[in-house]
Amino acid sequence: MHDAWWQRGAIYQIYPRSFMDAGGDGVGDLPGILARLEHLEALGVEAIWLSPFFRSPMADFGYDVADYCDVDPVFGTLADADRLIAACHERDIKVVVDWVPNHSSDRHPWFQESRAGRDSPRRDWYVWRDPAHGGGPPNNWRSSFDAVGPAWTFDEATGQYYLNSFTPQQPDLNWENPEVEAAMHDTLRFWLDRGVDGFRMDVIHKIAKDPQLRDNRDGERRRDEDWPTIHDRLRRIRAVLDEYEDRMMVGEVYLYDLERLLEYLNSGDQLHLAHNFAFLHLPWDAAAFRRGIEDFTALSSERAWPAWFLGNHDHQRLATRHGPAQARAGMLLVTTLRGTPFVYQGDELGLPDAVVPPERVVDVDGRDPERAPMPWEPGPGAGFTTGEPWLPLVADADRLCVAAQAADAGSMLALTCRLLALRREREVLRHGEQAMLHEVPAGVLAYVRELGGERVLVAINFTGAPAVVPLGGGAALVLSTDAARAPGEALDGALALGPHEGVVAELGRSGILRRP
Ligand code: NOJ
């Protein structure tokens, strides 16, 4: 059966500042990533998604782009980007880059021109408005960052406010202006021409807002994002990607309403994939996850393909949020569900958040702890840098580092490698059907993947107490998050699960499990 590359294996998110520093300045860079490609090969990822490495004053660590078509010197050069893309392709690893279309940096020449005067030809490339009657911001929209407050910044020189959905250093581009749309399409072509395989699209639901900029009101549809114009805007972006072969767009669609989310996927001519934040924010509870998966499935058209993730550079890490054993179970979950798994760098090590003392805080929104550098080797700098890392390392880096875990068959790294290998080996895990099982003990999430008579059971115990899943017949253990359990173990009539244990088991062909 044919599957697209973006449906096949895991897409691994690299946060370049924190992956590997080849230059010794304490900040990760593109040559650093190049030097660590072996790790990605050993993991067996299908693709990498690189968080922004474009020219930026770093007010939001690269999500404030001053030149969409150049590499920031802290990360390297365009030639480094070309080398990295080529090296990944030689290893059959696709490359996805981050595209930040909702806002640029306030240092972008477009904004500099825009703010130069009310009659600047680029004035309308951003969202400018007069103060409200009686003064103050034009409407009640708020920045996504609590610390920022209102989404408007007053510009003394021209006497108007500009819209910033994030920091004041990230003015929102005006997507109502066709020139902006065309210019942003060209930034996609720039990277497509350089050979990138796809884009992760930053807060893509925000590029369509109520053109009348009316206030948000409780109980009504929000007017500062996900406006109905989004869908045609996405279709036009998709058309740009479709000028090239086999490219992919995954949206950061930060909407908790799955119906809304699926509108970005169901028609098949908008996004290929969308990050599902409702899933990320679920409590560690089997019933909640079952519902989350079933709701997504129920609302999906034939053309929508799921994507699953439990962490990124904006959220507390799973091992800290729920615990190390849960992190193992979570990895098993996202890699065995029908859909594309996304893995955030360091989650393959089960990294916790770092402790960041107040004097080392650099992020405006409290996200430093999950952005701590990757520990590669024991010792100072953890093999990440020969200098002073830009953020503190995680506690216990010597024990959690790649080198230590690579030497330990029971490690989280070994488990992740095994899970990704299993996905490659077993077609059933890639595009088998998926049926949720309901007659299992409370606290257990279980589903069967099935393809052409091959049936695989996945069962995860979300509780700290042992649980037993009754089986109507024989099965054999393929893999467990409990490294002490040997593959091949015969499961006769029952599958016993330890606390927070997840397993993959091969079911006999004789219809041994009650089907829902
Ligand atoms: C989402 C990104 O993941 C986050 O890091 C960033 O701050 C905002 N979008 C604004 O670009």
Give 329-367 pLDDT, tens digit per residue. 999 999 999 999 999 999 999 999 999 999 999 999 999
Q: Is the separation of the CB atoms in 30 and 410 below 8 Å?
A: no
Q: Is residue 271 part of a domain?
A: no
Distance, CA of 179 to CA of 495 (rounded, Å): 60
Q: Is the separation of the CB atoms in 52 and 63 below 8 Å?
A: yes
Q: Is the separation of the CB atoms in 32 and 75 below 8 Å?
A: no
List the alpha helices (DSSP H) in 281-394: 286-299, 318-321, 324-336
Q: Is residue 457 part of a domain?
A: yes
* CATH number for position 465: 2.60.40.1180
Report the atom number in ligand 1 closest to the C-alpha of 103.
Answer: 11
Q: Up-side HSE of residue 475: CA atoms within 13 Å toward CB?
A: 28
CA of 27 to the centre of ligand 1 (A): 19
Picking from 384, 403, 351, the residue whose alpha carbon sits closest to that of residue 39 is 403
**Among protein residues, the one whose CA lies closest to atom 6 of ligand 1:** 63
- Taking CA atoms, 508 is separated from 218, 438, 468, 479, in Å, by 53, 20, 18, 16
Q: Is residue 147 part of a domain?
A: no
Distance, CA of 175 to CA of 252 (rounded, Å): 17
Is 363 among the catalytic positions? no
CA of 145 to the centre of ligand 1 (A): 10
Q: Is the separation of the CB atoms in 118 and 194 below 8 Å?
A: no
Which of 96, 163, 165, 203, when mutated, tests ligand 1's pocket best, judged by the most ligand atoms within 8 Å of its CB?
203
Q: Catalytic one among 202, 224, 263, 368?
A: 202
**Among protein residues, the one whose CA lies closest to atom 2 of ligand 1:** 202
Is 202 among the catalytic positions? yes
Q: Is residue 374 part of a domain?
A: no
Q: Is residue 446 part of a domain?
A: yes
Residue 513 predicted with pLDDT over 70: no
What are 77-121's pLDDT values in tens digits? 999 999 999 999 999 999 999 999 999 999 999 999 999 999 999
CA of 472 to the centre of ligand 1 (A): 48
When pLDDT is cut at 50, 70 and 90, the band that residue 224 belongs to is very high
Residue ranges making up the domain that contains 448: 429-513
CA of 364 to the centre of ligand 1 (A): 11
Strand ranges in 107-202 using DSSP code E only, listed in sequence order: 128-129, 152-155, 160-163, 198-201
Q: Catalytic one among 3, 41, 243, 439?
A: 243
Residue 248 predicted with pLDDT over 50: yes
> Considering its fold, how many domains does the chain have in total?
1
Report the atom number in ligand 1 closest to the C-alpha of 102.
Answer: 11
When pLDDT is cut at 50, 70 and 90, the band that residue 474 belongs to is confident
% of the chain at pLDDT higher than 70? 98
Q: Is residue 482 part of a domain?
A: yes
Which of 50, 61, 202, when mutated, tests ligand 1's pocket best, judged by the most ligand atoms within 8 Å of its CB?
202
Amino acid at 155: D
Residues with CB under 6 A from ligand 1: 60, 63, 100, 166, 202-203, 252, 313-314
Which of 51, 58, 60, when mutated, tests ligand 1's pocket best, judged by the most ligand atoms within 8 Å of its CB?
60
CA of 134 to the centre of ligand 1 (A): 33
Residue 1 predicted with pLDDT over 80: no
When pLDDT is cut at 50, 70 and 90, the band that residue 516 belongs to is very low
Distance, CA of 394 to CA of 316 (rounded, Å): 13
Q: Is residue 497 part of a domain?
A: yes
pLDDT reported for residue 29: 99
Picking from 390, 275, 343, the residue whose alpha carbon sits closest to that of residue 14 is 343
- Taking CA atoms, 384 is separated from 29, 150, 377, 399, in Å, by 10, 38, 8, 15
Mean pLDDT of 403-427: 98
CA of 202 to the centre of ligand 1 (A): 6
What are 185-212's pLDDT values in tens digits? 999 999 999 999 999 999 999 999 999 9
pLDDT reported for residue 510: 53
Which of 15, 63, 165, when mutated, tests ligand 1's pocket best, judged by the most ligand atoms within 8 Å of its CB?
63
Distance, CA of 327 to CA of 307 (rounded, Å): 18
CA of 112 to the centre of ligand 1 (A): 22
Report the atom number in ligand 1 closest to the C-alpha of 63.
Answer: 11
Q: Is residue 454 part of a domain?
A: yes
Looking at every residue in the chain, the average pLDDT score rounds to 97
